[in-house]
Chain A
């Protein structure tokens, strides 16, 4: 990408303003909807009220930021464990036929079970509440990662393997220098999907069985009939997910320097 093209992309005359406008428009519409009493929405606080509560009671509140930290820790733990176990398993499924024939059917039976259906078993099985939440989060990302890596291995181009063989590469070298880089884009897809799912799962799991985290905070807002808190919770979760995606995307770009920036 040339410098000129980059400048164009960053120039204030493009795209950015559209994004800003649409975000502002969203809040304005929300405000109007509450003020004009659109049915259903009129029960909610206005964005102004929500912001007032946020700046008045939450921004300096230790517990609030603690909720962020706790949820982030859970997402991170589940996500990283899912990568550490999922990537190798996907690679083995893709490369070892005997192993695949033996274990893939079991994997496929378990894959459609929604992560939240694991909650009861998980609580029974794991000694602490914390570990069961991390386990459920892990489940959320694990299957997606495995299936993507496996698919990545299967779609390695024959030509690349043949060429490496022709040019005298050893089996180990083919694995390291041809297979792994070929699979990186699929790992990246698994990461993108995985991080989104882990946030979904962690929030729900927190609502069901935890006494901390952003999910719990949102749920408590509902139980205590303070809709401002519910909304602050929701917006916080949205921001947290967005931040995570940005970081994951940044990592993906570092993993694939040969891909042009999207």
Chain B
């Protein structure tokens, strides 16, 4: 949102974590992905088009194996596409001739968590800053401690190894590890999938706090429709394989959102609207009974 709003984060030494949402505009244009084109020809994505405005929170919902992770991997630069192209802020990010590369402007938080178990929380958080040699390690550490402290007092676990933390806490640290690099886009691949309802609710609130503070573009994958509507500005329902966009739903629930949002009339109406689309695809996927793809 606008600079200088009361939500904008206090300045930190070194890299500034910007809170303006002029960066992170994604254009996905007719993207297709076929695995093993010479052999089995598994079509994961077909003519996928999405325009994600800068600073938008977009949630992708779809049955298991609908290619939503494939799309995320293309955006992250872990996988190439076989049709169409992707632009980020007007610049080509992934084209047929120029396969995408990973970059710290698009950092992923993975489904099963990918903190480095041999590094402490602080070392994990500052890993990106240190490895790029952007700043001396001590400065990176200061910045990491500062960010941890400002995020619910997580500085108290700075010296702990991830293996000693709950999965919710691990995920929070992971989101910060991505955020500290000041990315244009946060890519979240079902980060709360394996959590119980209570932890999940807490994590939603933490994520929304971060979103309300930093206004990064968020690309959030889930198969939980409630979660998608509660968090996002835009909910996109994907079809079962080959994945295409089935429905795009604008979520105009007011922010900041809280637990009352989820019981509001408006929430119910939005859910009503999306639920049949999701179930149709889920049923198709279920009947096909295929194993999850990637």
- Residue A57 CB within 8 A of the other chain: no
List residues of A (112-167) whose CB comes within 8 Å of B's CBs: 157, 159-160, 162-167
A168 touching B128, Cβ below 8 Å: yes
Q: Does B143 contact A (CB under 8 A)?
A: no
Asked whether A166 and B164 contact (CB < 8 A) given A160-B114, A256-B118, the answer is no
B114 touching A163 by the CB < 8 A rule?
A: yes
The digit string for B83-126, where 1 denotes a CB below 8 A from any CB of A, is: 00000000000000000001110111010101011110000000
A184 interface hit (Cβ, 8 Å): yes
- Give the number of residues in B that approach A within 8 Å (Cβ atoms): 25
* Cα A164 to Cα B108 with chains together (Å): 11
Cβ proximity bits B72-84 to A, threshold 8 Å, 1 near / 0 not: 0000111000000
Q: Is the interface of B mostly helix, strand, loop or mixed?
A: loop
Q: How far is the CB of B17 from chain A (nearest CB, A)?
A: 16
Q: Is the CB of B131 within 8 A of A166?
A: no
Q: In this assembly, does B181 line the interface, its C-beta being within 8 Å of a C-beta of chain A? A: yes
Interface check A37, CB cutoff 8 A: no
A184 to B116, CA, bound (A): 13
Contact A168–B131 (Cβ < 8 Å): yes
Q: Is the CB of B78 within 8 A of A162?
A: yes
Asked if residues A167 and B117 are in contact (CB atoms below 8 Å), the reply is no
B211 at the interface (CB under 8 A from A): no
Chain B stretch 123-182: residues in CB contact (< 8 A) with chain A: 127-128, 131-132, 161-164, 181
B161 interface neighbour in A163, A178, A258, Cβ under 8 Å: A258
Complex CA–CA separation, A23 to B228 (angstroms): 61
- Nearest chain-B residue to A164 (Cβ)? B131
Q: How large is the interface on A (under 10, 10 to 19, 20 to 34, 35 or more residues)?
A: 20 to 34
Q: Write out the residue numbers on chain B whose beta carbons fall within 8 Å of the beta carbon of A167.
A: 104, 107, 127-128, 131-132, 181
The number of inter-chain residue pairs (CB within 8 angstroms) is 60
Contact among A164, A165, A166, A258 with B118 in the assembled complex (CB-CB below 8 Å): A258
Q: Determine whether the beta carbon of B103 is less than 8 Å from that of A168.
A: yes
Interface presence of A8 (CB below 8 A): no
Q: Which of B76, B118, B161 makes the CB contact (< 8 A) with A162?
A: B76
Task: Give chain A residues whose Cβ lies under 8 Å from the Cβ of B107.
Answer: 163, 166-167
Query: Given A164-B131, A166-B103, A159–B112 Cβ distance below 8 Å?
Result: yes
The answer, yes or no, to whether A88 is at the interface (CB within 8 Å) is no
A169 is an interface residue with CB less than 8 A from chain B: yes
| Contact status B114-A166, CB under 8 Å | no
Residue-wise interface mask of A (163-201) relative to B, using a CB-CB cutoff of 8 A (1 in contact, 0 not): 111111110010001100110100000000000000000
Q: Which of B78, B116, B164, B181 has a CB less than 8 Å from the CB of A181? A: B116
Q: Tell me which residues across on chain B come within 8 A of A181, comparing CB atoms.
A: 116, 118
| A260–B163 CB distance below 8 A | yes
Residues in A neighbouring B108, C-beta threshold 8 A: 159, 162-163, 166
CB distance from A113 to the nearest CB of B (A): 35
User: A217 vs B286: C-alpha distance in the bound complex, in angstroms?
Assistant: 69
A14 interface hit (Cβ, 8 Å) = no
- 7 A-B Cβ contacts within 8 A? A163-B110, A167-B132, A168-B104, A168-B132, A178-B116, A258-B163, A259-B163
Residues of A near any B CB (own CB < 8 A): 157, 159-160, 162-170, 173, 177-178, 181-182, 184, 256-260
